[in-house]
Amino acid sequence: MTKRWLAVFAAGALAVAGFAPLGFYPATLLGVAVLFAFWLGAASARAAFADGLVFGLGLFGVGVSWIYVSLHDFGGMPAWLAALATFLFCTVLALFPALAGYLAVRLGSTRAARLVLVPALWVLLEWTRGWLFTGFPWLAIGYSQVPASPLAGFAPVLGVYGVSLAAATSAALVAWALTTRVGRWRALAGAAGIALAGLALTAQAFTRWDGSLTRVALVQGNVPQAMKWEPGQVADTLVRYARLADATRAPLIILPETALPVFEAQLPAAYRERLNAIGRENGGDVLAGLPTGSAEGPYYNSVVSFGVSPTQRYHKVHLVPFGEFIPAKAVWGWVVAVLHIPLSDFSPGRPDQPPLAIGGMKVAPNICYEDAFGEEIVPRASAANLLVNVSNDAWFGDSFALWQHAQMSQARALESGRMMLRATNSGLTAIIDRRGRLVAHLPPFREGVLEGDVRGYAGVTPYARFGNAPVVAIVLAGVVAGFLRAVRRRR
């Protein structure tokens, strides 16, 4: 059993190589196929649960190890407590693949039934993890296929969970071929057919250029996280961002999340006028991240426009638990004192906020972690022609998190058929085309300005129109079909 668990743990760790920054997408398919091979032949549901748990510890223990950096290096949590909290968090995440394995073996008494149940339950539990307790969709296997894999072609149609379904089904077919001679070539042919279908979809353009074109400048200030909210650092931060914005003639300039570490009402009048003047001189607008409201509340994590256009604001809707708000304060209020996080009780903005008409474009903004939730931001993108994400990932240090987060933005570009601009404090600041490819990016942890020409796109992808409903219906149908097949075989 120890050798088996070592193999399963290694498969989980191997799967991380498919995600950014390594991006070797076959590694994720291979790692998942190894786990599925054990599940297809599992002697009991309990054994399958254990396999899934160990795989999950390998996947999340390696893939989201940056949680420790956030808690200890920047949150001020003692090392032992940060390590324990990270382990417990990864264990909770590992329960989802564990439950998928348990149910697949419990419901499916035959290998053929499990072949249907395993990918369906895997994706159903991934989707559940994406919304339960406000959601943590990180390392859904669909992201590992974006943008280079043929399976990425399913993203505009079924979203990233549709890509996960294609990947999980392919892995299950490969697992079948590796563990039995019966139907081996048909299983491999099925996996090849899925890849060819995805490749065919990559050639389909669901959106079209609407004729708009503008020059953008994405500003990366690289302000150290430990100094960002220090009162003595605020003036230097404001000067830094104004200097960088003034160095470009782009009509659309974007500053990162909370680039200006003061409430909008406390922004000096002269500084506000300077940003307005920069926008006017360039014939466009500056979009800057800063908190709005007041310390007495309510206050919001926002972006505000300055320049030619009337002042417009977007308030972040999907807040991060314990980072931006404290759920069940009576129980978890002590976390604020332990983590030393400034402004840790934001209020959410309205979900129906309209696009911002700035810099000659119709911009659908999202702030930091919001771009992890395609079902929330992609429908809003249909009323806009450009996506913009402002973020501050300095909390995660020089870790996988910067690249993994950018990969989520790449998936949103694919799902919506629109370009995505990312302006971050320390990385990854990037221009992403509508195919989800990185057109250009700045090196992390360096001050700089990334300039480029971007186009606006019109049209609605199937995913923007229907969201996750189709893929959820497919996997539920798969669960029912697999279960019924097992019941018929028993009879």
Residue spans of the domains in the chain: they are: 2-204+468-490, 208-460
Residue 249's pLDDT band, with cuts at 50, 70 and 90, is very high
Q: Residue 6's pLDDT is what?
A: 95
Query: pTM (2 decimals)?
Result: 0.95
Q: Which among 257, 264, 375, 415 is annotated as catalytic?
A: 257
Q: Which among 90, 126, 264, 316 is annotated as catalytic?
A: 316
Q: Is the pLDDT at 416 greater than 90, yes or no?
A: yes
Q: Determine the Cα–Cα distance for residues 331 and 469; give it in Å rounded to an integer.
A: 34
Could you confirm whether 3 is annotated as catalytic?
Answer: no
Q: Is the pLDDT at 70 greater than 60, yes or no?
A: yes
Q: Are 144 and 18 in contact, with CB atoms under 8 Å apart?
A: yes
Could you confirm whether 257 is annotated as catalytic?
Answer: yes
Q: Determine the Cα–Cα distance for residues 436 and 434; give it in Å rounded to an integer.
A: 5
Q: Is the pLDDT at 345 greater than 90, yes or no?
A: no
Q: Which among 324, 368, 375, 415 is annotated as catalytic?
A: 368
Q: Supply angle C-alpha 278, 281, 282, rounded to 5.
A: 90
Q: Determine the Cα–Cα distance for residues 192 and 475; give it in Å rounded to an integer.
A: 20
Smallest Cα–Cα separation from 171: which of 159, 155, 187?
187
Q: Determine the Cα–Cα distance for residues 38 and 78; give it in Å rounded to an integer.
A: 38
Q: Residue 322's pLDDT is what?
A: 75
Q: Residue 41's pLDDT is what?
A: 93
Burial of 220 (0-12, 13-18, 19+ CB in 10 A): buried
Fold of 208-460: Nitrilase/N-carbamoyl-D-aminoacid amidohydrolase (3.60.110)
Peptide bond preceding 470 in cis form (omega within 30 of 0): no
Q: Determine the Cα–Cα distance for residues 322 and 329; give it in Å rounded to an integer.
A: 10
